[in-house]
Chain A
Amino acid sequence: GNSVTQMEGPVTLSEEAFLTINCTYTATGYPSLFWYVQYPGEGLQLLLKATKADDKGSNKGFEATYRKETTSFHLEKGSVQVSDSAVYFCALSPMNSGGYQKVTFGTGTKLQVIP
């Protein structure tokens, strides 16, 4: 079956530091890949997505590139802010012609940014 593996947290960084959260996946075919963010006490928000190999998703200074050869979708940001403190979930959704496509999530990585 499909699975997503992401680095364990928590990750603690100083403000303006560089962020990388690793994510690798196992899936058949060509899944779509996502990063969701969950701020304290809130629900899931889509941060960025990529639907095919070599696509780069980006939003709010975050980026992730769909690497089919390494089955990876690492999240990066050049300079984190305190407001980026949240839990980040890597996720995938299979691409098929059947219709419904449940999302498979990783375990989440908690990011804490300190001033």
Chain B
Amino acid sequence: EPEVTQTPSHQVTQMGQEVILRCVPISNHLYFYWYRQILGQKVEFLVSFYNNEISEKSEIFDDQFSVERPDGSNFTLKIRSTKLEDSAMYFCASWHYRDSGRAFRFNEQFFGPGTRLTVL
């Protein structure tokens, strides 16, 4: 069964450093997402990406964050200058929207296993 993969599984970095979190979405999916879960809290939407541009972003997704699809398979989240409060689990998700005549049909978003980011 196809799945979303993420690397690394755990990233430790120093405050102020840049990090890039990587995701490989399911190959025929068209929409890509990043979510964040601070330890013990709920999962929060960060950004969605379609057709090589950001579709929507939350207030969390400030200028320190950027996303990119550098090739046909990877989808990355970059944090330019990490802060302590960026420590969280980051989940990538992908989704394939299909229009079946008048009935819009879609599958649920598929989530990756997450990357745990620890900022020291």
Contact = CB atoms under 8 A, between A and B. Distances in A.
B112 interface: yes
A10 to B, nearest CB: 11
B91 A49 contact: no
Contacts of A89: 42-43
A43 B42 contact: no
Dominant secondary structure at the B interface? strand
Interface footprint category on A = 20 to 34
A32 interface: yes
B55 A99 contact: yes
Dominant secondary structure at the A interface? loop
Interface in A65-115: 89, 91, 93, 95, 97, 99-108
A102 B48 contact: yes
Contacts of B89: 43
A42 B41 contact: no
B91 A32 contact: no
Interface footprint category on B = 20 to 34
Contacts of B114: 42-44
B31 interface: yes
Contact of B93 (A32, A97, A103, A107): A103
Contacts of B97: 99-100
A32 to B, nearest CB: 7
Contacts of B50: 99-100
Given A42-B113, A107-B41, A108-B43, 9 more contacts: A43-B91, A43-B112, A45-B111, A97-B104, A100-B48, A101-B106, A102-B56, A104-B45, A105-B42
Contacts of A106: 42
Contacts of A17: none
